[in-house]
Structure 1
């Protein structure tokens, strides 16, 4: 892999990562509802999901996408359904300032992050369409592949974790039950909006 190719890939990924989309919205909504720790686990899951897509692209994601169209569609709609379920949970959360028992575990939130990424057509499009234009996949060495995987994880983490932190800080600033209610309803709308965005793209 050439230096110019690596820099082109890193730059393209950075731009894609910082553009607000369903994943960023889901992270902020999770942070508003449950705080930084849960949002951080969701973000970690999303990073892993992108690394999985990159790994698949390196072994022939175009073939996989063409062969397992139904499976990929099922994954997309499973992600949409999960976001809708989260939106419902957020909307019906009590407005009390006392800590609420969260039904979701760290592992569950982590898994949801992976699911949301796998269900986002934007991720598929980037790794199938953009990656081959900046990197000669067939000429990659083992070291190149490891470098791409690590770089992808680092760029996405640096781009997405600040959104989790910002959402968590906004949550901590709330001091009244009414504010908590508005926050939960806002988080629900954000999560629902992310579901609609993915569902709309899934039909394209």
Structure 2
């Protein structure tokens, strides 16, 4: 069982890591600006699911398995980097979109946002480094049981990421009118593209 010090340390570290600009939050802001809050929260759900995946990897020792399947994970690493580059290309050449708050959001677009969030997190080197390298420094993983994982770490992770993500979404929605112009949107999307390229380079360099 985790003591309160470990819980607070994990919550604080996760909150700080989530708030640091990266591919996930860049995509979250861009999606919230272009598609609104609902679209943003769908992407956020995918981001959270990706974090829970790596949390489970760390807790149940699946990181050790990766060491014995190096060729497979090298392939995954290159695939993740290429996906981030593909997202960067989409953001860089994204066309100006007239923002209409009353325009209904299609269900297909919401599912695409969630899947995009999941894929971005799974290919995010910052997320990988946090759960597979920094998490063991904050929490004694040997003391984490299935019960602790399910009733403490999973809800805590969801709450922290939901809180941080909600702040980004609300901020993006509030400034949508500022980003209605073509030049403002271009700067936002190209900034997101640059973050994706840096993340892809970091993925290949590690």
Fold match by TM threshold 0.5: yes
Query: Conserved in 2, the CA contact under 8 Å of 1:45 and 1:110?
Result: yes
> 5+ residue gaps in structure 1?
none
Find out whether 1:118 has 2:122 as its counterpart.
yes
Find out whether 1:144 has 2:148 as its counterpart.
yes
20-29 vs 109-118, greater mean Cα deviation:
20-29
Give the match for residue 106 of structure 1: 110
What's the TM-score once normalised by structure 2's chain length? 0.84
Query: Conserved in 1, the CA contact under 8 Å of 2:178 and 2:184?
Result: no
Give the match for residue 171 of structure 1: 176
Write the mapping of 1:41-56 to structure 2, written as runs, cut at 5 A.
41-56=42-57
Query: Conserved in 2, the CA contact under 8 Å of 1:32 and 1:167?
Result: yes
Q: Once the two structures are superposed, what CA deviation does each residue of 1:4-32 show, in whole Å capped at 9, x if it has no partner?
A: 22222122112212222222111111122
User: 1:70: how far off?
Assistant: 2.2
Q: Once the two structures are superposed, what CA deviation does each residue of 1:20-77 show, in whole Å capped at 9, x if it has no partner?
A: 2222111111122222221111111101110111011112242244224224314422
> 5+ residue gaps in structure 2?
none
Please list every run of at least 4 consecutive aligned residues from structure 1 whose deviation after the TM superposition is greater than 3 angstroms.
Answer: 93-104
Query: Conserved in 2, the CA contact under 8 Å of 1:14 and 1:156?
Result: yes
Give the match for residue 181 of structure 1: 182
Give the match for residue 95 of structure 2: 92
Structure-1 separation of matches of 2:138 and 2:105: 47
Q: 2:148 is paired with a residue of what secondary structure?
A: helix
